[in-house]
Amino acid sequence: MKAKELVCIVGCAASFAVFAQVGSPVHHEGLLEYCGSQKSIFETGKAEGVVPLAAMSGSAATFGVGAAAGLDGEITVLRGSPYVTKVRGDHYALDHDPNQSAVFAVWTTQSQWVEQAIPGDVVTYQDLQRFIKDRAITAGIDAAKPFPFLLTGTPVEVKWHINVDRTEGKPIDSQLFAKSKASFIAVNQAMDIVGFYSEHHPGIFISVLAPGIKDNSVENAIHIHMVTRDGQSAGHIDDVVLSTGMSLLLPKVAGN
């Protein structure tokens, strides 16, 4: 995918109108918006939906990620189209129904992106996290504030998951939350990746723990979801091995 201008169909005002109906606060910070939080799941023992999916989809310039209500799936918004995956039996189903909700979600509306090649020495999850921050700073983005990014290409391997309720009706704690996941592996599959970077939102829309972080001295700062180019799979990325030929897209800001 080449960097190009995307046409915005539904503006931020529409998103705020939807949220006003449910009384959930929307936070606008940096180059993104977010609502709900991961830590609320552990504070309440529940995974209730507070973010209407319709509020973060519909615009061709909107990208977002979230966890489906009830720990029943993963939500990814790519160019305004929702991809909702839910475990059903031994596999999973994917739909595009906007009439669903998320426990927490983060999204952005960006019409212009600047694309650049990812060098061959950027291979691991930690490499990627470091590279994204460095390139964002070079591009004039304030990395002290949260910002979105996109990746395109064919990774060597992606380990990913879909939330699935395995709590048996018990209050959700960190152990039950970790158990309530179905894991999958994508090998050499072309995909688009929607991501968000922040060093200041752990437990909100950034997971404190990430399997891709191998060094205990490094804190996780990215939340990434993938959608395969065939449109058949989507979910939360736990770890990744990048390949040559992949690209990073960052929001175009004044001066870059």
Is 14's pLDDT higher than 90? no
Which CATH number characterizes residue 45's domain? 3.30.1330
**4 inside domain:** no
Can you give the pLDDT at residue 57? 85
**pLDDT tens sequence across 187-219:** 999 999 999 999 999 999 999 989 999 999 999
Smallest CA-to-CA distance from 36 within 66, 74, 78, 64 is with 66
Cβ(122)–Cβ(200) under 8 Å? no
Q: What are the φ/ψ torsions at residue 3 (nearest 5 degrees)?
A: -60, 135
Which stretch of DSSP H or E encloses residue 43? helix 39-44
Can you give the pLDDT at residue 255? 66
Cβ(150)–Cβ(195) under 8 Å? yes
When mean pLDDT is compared across 54-63, 80-89, 217-226, 237-246, the lowest value belongs to 54-63
Q: Are residues 141 and 228 in the same domain?
A: yes
Q: Are residues 143 and 184 in the same domain?
A: yes
Q: How far apart are CA 159 and CA 182, in angstroms?
A: 11
**205 inside domain:** yes
Q: How far apart are CA 44 and CA 59, in angstroms?
A: 32
Which tokens hold the place of 17? 């109108």
**191 inside domain:** yes
Can you give the pLDDT at residue 18? 42
Q: Are residues 133 and 71 in the same domain?
A: no
Q: Are residues 138 and 245 in the same domain?
A: yes
Cβ(137)–Cβ(60) under 8 Å? no
What share of the chain in percent tops pLDDT 70? 90
Q: In total, how many domains does the chain have?
A: 2
Is 3's pLDDT higher than 50? no
Q: Which amino acid is at 7?
A: V
Q: Which of 79, 109, 139 is the last residue of a domain?
A: 109
For range 4-13, the mean pLDDT: 34
Q: Characterize 109-118 residue by residue with b for buried, 16 or more Cβ atoms within 10 angstroms of its Cβ, and e for exposed.
A: bbeebeeeeb
